Amino acid sequence: MLEKVFEPTLPKWSTVLGVAAVEQPIYAGSRRYRIEAGPVIDIRYYDIAFASVGEGLGVNLLRGETYRAGVAVGYDLGRRVQDDYSHLHGLGDIRPAPMIKLFGSWVLSKQFPMDLRADVREIVGRGAHEMLADVDAFMPLPGSSKTFVMFAGPSITFANGLYTQKTFGVSAAQSAASGYRTFDAHGGANAIGLGFSATRFITPHWLINSDLAVNRLLGGARDSPITQTQVANLFEITTSYRW
């Protein structure tokens, strides 16, 4: 959205391809971290349609100079017991599943370029209507330029009871198999966070980006016996080529 605000004439096609490495907890609430590598893919047709590793496959149904809203299809990776057997045994896998997302984004103004974003996601194919929602904001920081751009802002995540119970709850059967006490995880605010992003354009097309985020679990996610720590850090670095 900020690109559109400052450069309203978008190219017909915009493509970003690269590679990324990310360090993050092996599951929400875990003390253990792992590093994973993967592709960076972001392909856009004007401001109409997009295919992105981060945002999924979607279309902007409403479009304006300072706003957009639409629908996308993505994927929830779930959770595997084998990722941390000592803490997850007896809880069972949470299998991967597709999700449908409704989203919107609004930039306040060119003079005050804060981007406000919100989305609602429903995970389908796991037998329950698990839903999450995010609300976040970010804006450029002082010191940014055309070749070095910094952003920062807060976020909050909500989840319904079905998602929270699936991810952080412990049923009677799971309690007997794992040794954890039974726990009913209710829906509501699930996490708050603060993110920072910095991008350096080595050339007009080649860029290096780093992202850092800190999240704190709330409510049932925080109080679950599965949760080992309330605070999680994420660090990602990517190198990409844009044309």
Read off the CATH number of the domain in which 63 is found.
2.40.230
Q: What mean pLDDT, rounded, does the chain reach?
A: 95
State yes or no: pLDDT of 8 exceeds 80: no
Residue 170's pLDDT is what? 98
Instruction: Work out the pLDDT band at 3, boundaries 50, 70, 90.
Output: confident
The rounded distance, in Å, linking the Cα atoms of 167 and 151 is 31
Burial environment of residue 68 by CB neighbours within 10 A (0 to 12, 13 to 18, 19 or more): buried
Residue 10's pLDDT is what? 82
The rounded distance, in Å, linking the Cα atoms of 60 and 71 is 7
Q: Are 23 and 234 in contact (CB under 8 A)?
A: yes
Residues paired with 54 in a beta bridge: none
The number of distinct structural domains making up the chain is 1
Q: Are 183 and 169 in contact (CB under 8 A)?
A: yes
Percent of the chain predicted with pLDDT > 70: 100
Q: Which domain holds residue 144?
A: 2-242
The rounded distance, in Å, linking the Cα atoms of 61 and 66 is 14
Q: What is the mean pLDDT of residues 71-75?
A: 96
The rounded distance, in Å, linking the Cα atoms of 232 and 215 is 5
pLDDT in tens, 115-170: 999 999 999 988 889 999 999 999 999 999 989 999 999 999 999 999 999 999 99
Q: Are 28 and 167 in contact (CB under 8 A)?
A: yes
